[in-house]
Structure 1
Amino acid sequence: MSDCTWLWAPQAWIAGRWQQRVLLQIGADGHWAAMQPDVPAPPQARVLAGPLLPGLVNAHSHAFQRAFAGLAERREGEQDDFWSWRDRMYCVALRIAPEALEAVATQLYAELLQGGYTQVCEFHYLHHAPDGRPYADPLAMSHALLRAAQATGIGLTLLPVLYQRAGFTQPQLREDQRRFATDVQLLLTLRDGIRALRQPRVNAGVAIHSLRAASPEAITRLADALAGDDAPIHIHIAEQTGEVDDCLAATGRRPIEWLAAHVALDARWQLVHATHATPQEIDTVARGGAGVVICPSTEANLGDGLTDLPRWLRAGTVLSLGSDSHVGRAWPAELRLLDYGQRLHLRQRNVSAAPQQGQPSTAAHLFERLRAGGGAAAGFARWGLETGARADWLVLDMRTAGLLGVPPGLALDALVFATDAPAFSEVGVAGRVVVRQGAAQDSAGIAQRFAETLSRLWA
């Protein structure tokens, strides 16, 4: 189950702050059984080489897009935006078969572990064969993702996606969207098939691609079918101003406004991006307890815009972090970009700090909010260094340039704002070490298969 039952850390992030000389016990089920601060290391404990952090949930991933990262950074025409990027991204979606998806996802999941994520929510809409026909096994592409998760040791929340149409006024899918087609019944069949496999560290919810890609009738039917199911429900929403304008024209309401009027936005719902939200919509989401998944590097890369982060924070909204298209794959850099975007917009510093709540550290305030929110986005009642939560952890390498010589109490600040490369010497998931000395297991073999796969894809 694990290298040892007991771990001892010189300091550990517990209950939103650093605590010193912490002894942690891992139960036989791979969950934290006990933790006690201010104790010397007993003989049976493995002494960790640096401060201990909980892993974060990556709450929004399209694994196949890792094959496209860095390959759309050229502009040949007068304008380039989300919609032109999407058309190019579809070229990848039409090429990638299960074996290639497995190689790409395995590389990605290894990178996410090295970047400090120990669970990933896979927003999975690539279901059918390249010609659009269903595979003999409807879960063929899901199995590729499951194998990648098992190979690397990362936890996986698999979210099959409802995807029916090309737009509010386009009732059919485009030809280059043929691999995405699902209805409510197929969606529930995929979800139930994933659950029936009962694989370790795997759970399943569902997702709706967007309001433009699913009919109102299907969204209502799905919400009714999910009554009594506590698993997460994710949806892209209000990412682009064009989407907001189209929704207004088609329905008379903004996207978040429309969704809140038609479903009960409770804690299961996770609104991905929600970039263009009004103050009233923010308050509505917060009152219902729904979560918002922010994807800073992808939103910046695609030119989506900046969300009103200060208002989301003040409203007490459940927030989590995603890497989406995977142009960035380490959470410290995402946190830095999240606050830097607000600094540039507002011309202020440390926008996300909360001294009025006793948390003057920007990094600590964001980290703690995203830790808790990420657990909810993945469907966990407990997440972090707390009894009963899955025993996931990160060990900081204080020899990393950005952390070298930093006072122990400021390690999280320096990790986010002064460290360029991943700085985790060890990563554990469910009581088992999956990254040692900064490298995932079989990282060389995984990288070789990934490189060979990309060579074939882009030949």
Structure 2
Amino acid sequence: MRNHATATPRGWALPGIANLHSHAFQRAMAGMAERQTDPRDSFWTWRETMYAMAARFDPGLLQAVAAQLYVEMLEAGYTTVCEFHYLHHAADGTPHAQPDAMSQALLRAARETGIRITLLPVLYMTGGFDGRALSERQRRFGHRVDAYLRLHETLRANAGDTVRIGCALHSLRAVPAAAMGEVLAGLPADARIHIHVAEQTAEVDECVAVRGARPVQWLLDNAAVDARWTLVHATHLDAAEVQGIARSGATVAICTTTEANLGDGLFPLRSFLDAGGRWGIGSDSHISVSPVEELRWLEYGQRLHARRRNIASSADSPSVGAALLQGVLGSAADSSGFAADDRIVLDAQAPILAGASADDLIDRWIFSGNASLVRDVVVAGVRVVEDGRHRDREAIAARYREAMRQLLS
């Protein structure tokens, strides 16, 4: 396995990390859903808190929050973000005068911070597998197929060196089968396609009851799933689904900290690796914005479940850290659409890296503490982080503080 660590005059250089799953607006509610609302609190009760926050956003507030988030991502070592975007309309479901106003807010945030973005406008049509209408709180997410395809076509004019436009199907429960087929037929052949799938056991049970198959199996049987696809979460899989995803070439986006925060469950990492499956990481709800924490707790969750150590290692890579880094690097281009050569530089003078070598550098970065070791970040040839600080950190933070004042007032 390739050793990606290179010594440079400014420190240890590594490739930049792709964040495969982001809901930028949720950064504004991080830490605000940690009080019991029901004795059986779960994803489904958390979702009501999320809806209440989502209802407060307009394009200006979304840009301010997203820019702050993207600064945090860059300073942590993420150089690409796949933004799974469903805040399309005003809170009551009325389209904005400029139908892509919320999407453009995210693109402006990405451009001003310098992060690469794969914008994934979301198709969201129904409130469940039974086809029920969207609830009042979901109306701002909704599109008909024709309006969605028009939005997608409009946004494609924004694609460029640091911008890609892909497609997100919110989930099988939110996109009827016929609509999914119509949208897929209307997309460019190279469009990246992301979908939430099998995050919750209730979702799996409802899919079996209504469609007669588990969600991942239904998707594999009813769509041409290939390397362009990213299955977000895919937490609850049986053995046949593990093998099926691996054969398809699709990527699974594992969002370890969010899945833990919501009590979703553990992805079957070792069996997926054994099947040759491809995977990456996402920070999703952004209760943490750190590739180190996503990777560390991906491994630690598996250790707690298996009650043994070094789960992600293999004969080819006895180093757990190197195996984890190889996983996220190997899926990034297919999932995001970017074949990028961005880099991050770790501070070789950090005490925690004293005496580090290329052989142990990645393990020490991931498994030796919480202080950020990222010194520099270069995206598309531009140094956007230097000595640990984003070039526009203070101005963007000031706008974020004002946005939070408005959101919470």
Pick the TM interval, shorter chain. over 0.9
How many residue pairs were aligned?
409
What displacement does 1:50 show?
A: 0.7
Equivalent in the alignment of 1:221: 182
Query: Do structure 1's residue 315 and structure 2's residue 301 form an aligned pair?
Result: no
2:293 alignment partner, one of 333, 338, 347: 333
* 8 A contact 2:77–2:344 mirrored in 1: yes
Query: Do structure 1's residue 259 and structure 2's residue 219 form an aligned pair?
Result: yes
Equivalent in the alignment of 1:231: 191
Amino acid at match of 2:322: A
Change (3 A) 1:334 1:314: same
1:279 alignment partner, one of 219, 223, 239: 239
Cα distance between partner residues in 2 of 1:19 and 1:340: 23
Segment drifting more, 137-146 vs 394-403: 394-403
Cα distance between partner residues in 1 of 2:257 and 2:295: 10
Query: Do structure 1's residue 16 and structure 2's residue 2 form an aligned pair?
Result: yes
Equivalent in the alignment of 2:120: 159
Give the gaps of 5 or more residues in structure 2.
none
- Equivalent runs, 1:76-87 vs 2, <5 Å: 76-87=37-48
Equivalent in the alignment of 1:438: 388
What displacement does 1:183 show?
A: 2.3
What displacement does 1:200 show?
A: 4.1
Cα distance between partner residues in 2 of 1:266 and 1:367: 22
Equivalent in the alignment of 1:29: none
For residues 67-117 of structure 1, what are the alpha-carbon distances to aligned partners after superposition, in whole Å with 9 as ceiling and x for unaligned?
111111111431210000001100111111110000000000000001111
Amino acid at match of 2:206: D
Change (3 A) 1:138 1:340: same
Equivalent in the alignment of 1:28: none
1:294 alignment partner, one of 239, 245, 254: 254
1:363 alignment partner, one of 300, 321, 343: 321
1:147 alignment partner, one of 88, 92, 108: 108
* 8 A contact 1:18–1:409 mirrored in 2: no
* 8 A contact 1:128–1:135 mirrored in 2: yes
Percent of paired sites with the same residue:
48
Cα distance between partner residues in 1 of 2:358 and 2:253: 30
* 8 A contact 2:6–2:13 mirrored in 1: no
Give the gaps of 5 or more residues in structure 1.
1-14, 22-46, 383-389
Query: Do structure 1's residue 191 and structure 2's residue 152 form an aligned pair?
Result: yes
Q: Secondary structure at the match of 1:197?
A: coil
- Equivalent runs, 1:113-128 vs 2, <5 Å: 113-128=74-89
Equivalent in the alignment of 1:378: 336
2:342 alignment partner, one of 392, 414, 429: 392
Query: Do structure 1's residue 109 and structure 2's residue 70 form an aligned pair?
Result: yes
Equivalent in the alignment of 1:240: 200
Change (3 A) 1:148 1:48: farther
2:98 alignment partner, one of 134, 137, 141: 137
Equivalent in the alignment of 1:412: 362
* 8 A contact 1:114–1:330 mirrored in 2: no
What displacement does 1:168 show?
A: 1.2
What displacement does 1:18 show?
A: 4.5
TM-score by length of 2: 0.97
Query: Do structure 1's residue 454 and structure 2's residue 404 form an aligned pair?
Result: yes
* 8 A contact 1:159–1:191 mirrored in 2: no
Cα distance between partner residues in 2 of 1:391 and 1:433: 13
Q: What is the root-mean-square deviation in Å for CA atoms of aligned residues?
A: 1.4
Cα distance between partner residues in 2 of 1:187 and 1:233: 14
Cα distance between partner residues in 2 of 1:428 and 1:133: 40
Cα distance between partner residues in 2 of 1:278 and 1:399: 46
Equivalent in the alignment of 2:28: 67
Equivalent in the alignment of 2:377: 427
What displacement does 1:20 show?
A: 5.6
For residues 384-415 of structure 1, what are the alpha-carbon distances to aligned partners after superposition, in whole Å with 9 as ceiling and x for unaligned?
xxxxxx33110011233432333442111011
For residues 10-36 of structure 1, what are the alpha-carbon distances to aligned partners after superposition, in whole Å with 9 as ceiling and x for unaligned?
xxxxx7214666xxxxxxxxxxxxxxx
Cα distance between partner residues in 1 of 2:120 and 2:267: 24
Cα distance between partner residues in 1 of 2:28 and 2:387: 26
